[in-house]
Structure 1
């Protein structure tokens, strides 16, 4: 039975470090493909939420990008076709060698990856090959318990629930990101990422389910 692994990697250790630094509000998402060719694992990238001009200019100087072409751009969202540089392709090779399927790959100042492996041995082999430092959030069998209500990770659910309890969503607001970070013992940046990704998961798995 197959396994799913969800983990995060700092952009400094994976891809688009310079471009994401130049446009700090940018969110990027890889168009999903199932393939066993390094050139076609992560070739298409959606970007939105930040300054696209600054992002595109920075990609030209980003050492993780070999070539980039803008395929579409409309209403603050752009689709790019990217040829990655050798350091990124070596990371991609680790996925290919273990026959991983990229189910989700998104980034702001760090990458969140969700990969499917045929079995736990393949998953372990990937960990051994991966060159970057990473934080494993969870791994599970696809035939086991549900992935999580509404697509939330345990960390996202914990942060959203605490934010609600503290009054972060109240009008007027009764708590700040700093308050949540203090309670969880994590950085304000991590809290912001969990809130953004949690909101995105809730929208995609509730409002857009039948879209």
Structure 2
């Protein structure tokens, strides 16, 4: 059963937070992310009166390879950041099959993460301890249907099952640890049907999560 952990962390504890505290004052929200390979979560919503100053400050950082504005809605801009430095916190999230549900902050950030089971959550905590990442855990609890009555971000039960199974087996890692056939065998369906469920699930996540400021 899926578990959720909520914690706060000082911006100085992770590279992403350090970078975003530089430049003009902004309201920042790190978006929920589909774990693909070992990449860090690269999408953020930013609200600021000095867009040019924000972009200049971020692009001046040596750890930022590129910055691209994807969209702008109601005075908030969606950016994607390409990193060439390390992101230990996000590396830990991806390695333990975690998903960012909510994350926002300035000098102090609040994270809400989803893990497919309690073992992955324990592994994430162990990773943070071993890598000297200090956080304040505020709550740990089991995901309920009452919390997400429309299931996970608009996913059907089949799409949710396929994505969770694929992530748990290492399909999204680079290179993939398993093939679509192997994921399909675990689900009891063909590789073609598995591909359709995964593609459909990813499309819904991108549409309902990354392109919807909430």
Q: TM-score range by the shorter chain?
A: 0.5 to 0.7
Distance 2:136 2:67 in 1: 28
Residues 179-204 of structure 1: per-residue CA shift (max 9 Å, x gap): xxxxxxxxxxxxxxxxxxxxxxxxxx
Task: Please state how far the C-alpha of 1:127 moved relative to its aligned partner.
Answer: 1.0
State whether structure 2 residue 39 is matched by structure 1 residue 30: no
**Mapped partners of 2:145, 2:77: distance in 1:** 37
Partner of 2:136: 135
Partner of 2:76: 77
Aligned to 1:120: 118
Contact 1:3 1:142 in 2 (8 A): yes
Change (3 A) 1:74 1:134: same
Instruction: Say whether the 8 Å CA contact 1:19–1:56 is kept in structure 2.
Output: no
TM-score when scaled to structure 2?
Answer: 0.58
TM-score (ref. length: structure 1): 0.59
Within-5 A mapping of 1:1-211: 1-14=1-14, 15-24=16-25, 26-39=26-39, 41-73=40-72, 76-88=75-87, 90-130=88-128, 131=131, 132-143=133-144
Query: 2:84, 2:143 → 1: CA distance?
Result: 32
Query: CA distance change for structure 1 residues 33 and 144 in 2, over 3 Å: closer, same or farther?
Result: closer
Query: How far 1:75 moved relative to its partner?
Result: 5.8
Q: Which moved more, 1:68-77 or 1:126-135?
A: 68-77
| Structure 1 residue 111: Cα displacement | 2.1
Q: In 2, Cα distance between the equivalents of 1:124 and 1:33?
A: 20
User: What residue in structure 1 maps to residue 169 of structure 2?
Assistant: none
**Partner of 1:205 in structure 2?**
none
Q: Which of the pair is proportionally richer in helix?
A: 1
How large is the RMSD of aligned CA atoms in angstroms?
2.7
- For structure 2, the residue ranges without an aligned partner over 5 or more in a row are 149-213
- 1:64 Cα shift? 4.4
Q: SS of the residue aligned with 2:82? A: strand
Tell me the secondary structure at the aligned position of residue 21 of structure 2: helix
Contact 2:31 2:100 in 1 (8 A): no
Specify the alignment match of 1:184 in structure 2: none
- Per mean C-alpha deviation after superposition, the further-off stretch among 120-129 and 7-16 is 7-16
